[in-house]
Amino acid sequence: DISNPMSASAAFSFSLEDYGFDAGTDPRITDPLPTTTYHPTLNPDPAALDADTAAFGLAGKMAFGDIDFASDGETLLLVNLHDKHLYMIHVGENPTVPQAADISRVAIPDPGCADGDYAPWGVKGYDGAVYVGVVCTAETSQDVNDLSAHVLRLDGSSFTDIFQFALNYPRTIAGLSLTYSPSSDADWRPWASSITTVFGSNPGTVNTVYPQPVLSDIEFDADGNMTLGLLDRWGPQMTQFQLLPEPYDTGAANVFVATAGDVLRAFRQSDGTYVLENNAASPASGSTAGAGNGQGPGGGEWYFDDEYSQSSAPTVSEHTDIAAGALALIAGSGEVASNGYDVIDEGAVETGGVIYLSDSTGARVGSVGATQIYDSNVNLGTYGKGGGMGDIELDCDQATLEIGNRVWFDFNANGVQDPGETPISGVTVSLYDSAGTTKLTQTTTDSNGEWYFDTADGVQPGTTYRVILDNTADFTGSGPLAEYQLTRQDTG
């Protein structure tokens, strides 16, 4: 129940371990960093500094990635990062704890990555199909030209690679005003399993940038175009305000992390294929103001407003890519929401929240175009620019259930509401239970002869009711139905 987010409670819960899920073993359980001379175990105090050496290389390889519902609204979709399988858990229309028979899984295949280095994460149920996001990580080759992103569609019991693109496009800088190690360059880099791969023999400054791509979310708009969220793995590897892992003992100096995720757009063609944005342009509808900014495929970016500027230099981007890989979209709204950090231009830093981007212009929507959720200067343990915001889900009110229509004079007695036939107002209409014995509520037809019962009247889904004209006064004397008789039934 999330009606009160500050005291939310689970409608039900279940342990995935009870069903034999293997998401990997926490390395601290079997080896709590015995060689570490500082913080041999992680301190539960969010203000404490820790060096999480054991977890560094496991980011994106252990536990779970994205979770979504299939388009049937009854099947939970879950990506296991450890065994690289898509799990499908049927919980029903009114979710209940699943049985073992309700769970199935499908292996997410290597889409042809160099050295077999690939990592799934994002998942989306859309239009009866399931889509999974995968990246070729280039972890072994360390060749940026081996980096690529792939969208796989589940066809029956196997996947088809329906869209792929290289990740060696230009991205300018992750941070402007500070000196970053190994550099401030925001270009995607091969995955690093060891901290020494990043820094070599000397980590240099404690201000760090090392963008590594994860295709973490997929959304579809009303026309079938895709918006893709890319998470920077450096965030979950390092977080914010922590110590560098071994062999770099930074002592009391905490690490500053600037992540650089991304939001990309792919356009659906008439033959069902997809074309990636190119210099902020679509194949059919022109370009956005991000053309030529040097920050995306082809030299520009469609969603160009995923950036932060300081109040001291409002026309210059301090961080050119503040997105953190999670998306939410209402088809037909023309907007997409993305999580991120420092989300309010010229606002507070070390914060996290949500930005709202136009699908047609790529710009922020509204005067601010963002909602700040946390401030790491106040809310300790929220990771600042290191990716403290998780996935975004839409909490929309359910559509109102409605019973009703119209009472009218059927002039030609054909049982059909024909144009121009006179409405009858003032008729009492009552709603009864399925047996017709218990009266639940009543209403009166308006000047258009219309009457309705809806959720506010207690109408429930999947329930049978009877609608009865039970006011005898309506049929006598000057009543609105006096001298009328029922017209033909079950026609039209």
If asked whether residues 463 and 355 sit together in one domain, one would say no
As a whole number, mean pLDDT of residues 158-171 equals 98
If asked whether residues 369 and 434 sit together in one domain, one would say no
If asked whether residues 355 and 447 sit together in one domain, one would say no
If asked whether residues 347 and 428 sit together in one domain, one would say no
Q: Encode pLDDT of 274-321 as tens digits.
A: 999 999 999 988 999 999 999 999 999 999 999 998 867 777 888 999
pTM for this entry: 0.82
- Give the model's pLDDT for residue 87: 96
Q: Encode pLDDT of 80-94 as tens digits.
A: 999 999 999 999 988
Q: Is residue 3 part of a domain?
A: no
- Give the model's pLDDT for residue 178: 86
Q: Is residue 2 part of a domain?
A: no
CA distance 452 to 458: 12
Last residue of a domain, one of 386, 419, 443: 386
Q: How many CB atoms are closer than 10 A to CB 333?
A: 15
Q: List the beta strands (DSSP E) in 407-457.
A: 428-432, 439-444, 450-454
Alpha helices in 359-409, H assignment, sequence order: none
In 3D space, the residue among 279, 310, 353, 345 whose CA is nearest the CA of residue 175 turns out to be 310
- Give the model's pLDDT for residue 32: 44
- Give the model's pLDDT for residue 492: 64
- Residue 2, pLDDT > 70, answer no
- Give the model's pLDDT for residue 3: 58
> Looking at the DSSP assignment, which residues form a beta bridge with residue 286?
282
Q: Is residue 481 part of a domain?
A: no
Q: Is residue 485 part of a domain?
A: no
- Give the model's pLDDT for residue 13: 84
Domain count, the chain: 2
Q: Encode pLDDT of 318-374 as tens digits.
A: 899 999 999 999 888 999 999 999 999 888 888 899 999 999 999 999 878 999 988
As a whole number, mean pLDDT of residues 172-186 equals 90
If asked whether residues 226 and 357 sit together in one domain, one would say yes
Q: Cα separations (Å) of 239 from 60, 105, 258, 373?
A: 14, 31, 9, 17
- Give the model's pLDDT for residue 39: 47
Q: Is residue 480 part of a domain?
A: no
If asked whether residues 285 and 425 sit together in one domain, one would say no
- Give the model's pLDDT for residue 253: 61
Enclosing domain of residue 228? 17-386
Rounded percentage of the chain residues whose pLDDT exceeds 90: 67
pLDDT tier for residue 10 given thresholds of 50, 70 and 90 = confident
| Phi, psi dihedrals of residue 172, rounded to the nearest 5° | 50, -120
- The whole-angstrom distance between residue 198's C-alpha and the CA centroid of its chain comes to 30
CA distance 373 to 389: 8
If asked whether residues 417 and 375 sit together in one domain, one would say no
More confident residue, 468 or 15: 468
- Give the model's pLDDT for residue 303: 98
Element (H, E) at 30: helix 27-30
CA distance 183 to 199: 10
- Residue 183, pLDDT > 60, answer yes
Burial class (CB in 10 A: 0-12, 13-18, 19+), 419: exposed
Last residue of a domain, one of 386, 418, 440: 386
* CATH label of the domain that carries residue 413: 2.60.40.10
pLDDT tier for residue 37 given thresholds of 50, 70 and 90 = very low
Q: Is residue 393 part of a domain?
A: no
As a whole number, mean pLDDT of residues 121-125 equals 98
CB 313 within 8 A of CB 366: no
If asked whether residues 109 and 237 sit together in one domain, one would say yes
As a whole number, mean pLDDT of residues 404-409 equals 95
Q: Is residue 64 part of a domain?
A: yes
Q: Is residue 11 part of a domain?
A: no
Per-residue exposure over 80-115, b if at least 16 CB sit within 10 Å of its own CB, e if not:
bbeebbbbbbbbeeeeeebeeebbeebebbebebbe
If asked whether residues 374 and 406 sit together in one domain, one would say no
If asked whether residues 372 and 451 sit together in one domain, one would say no
If asked whether residues 64 and 139 sit together in one domain, one would say yes
Q: Cα separations (Å) of 27 from 16, 32, 51?
A: 19, 7, 14
Structure tokens at 26: 């926490």
If asked whether residues 287 and 420 sit together in one domain, one would say no
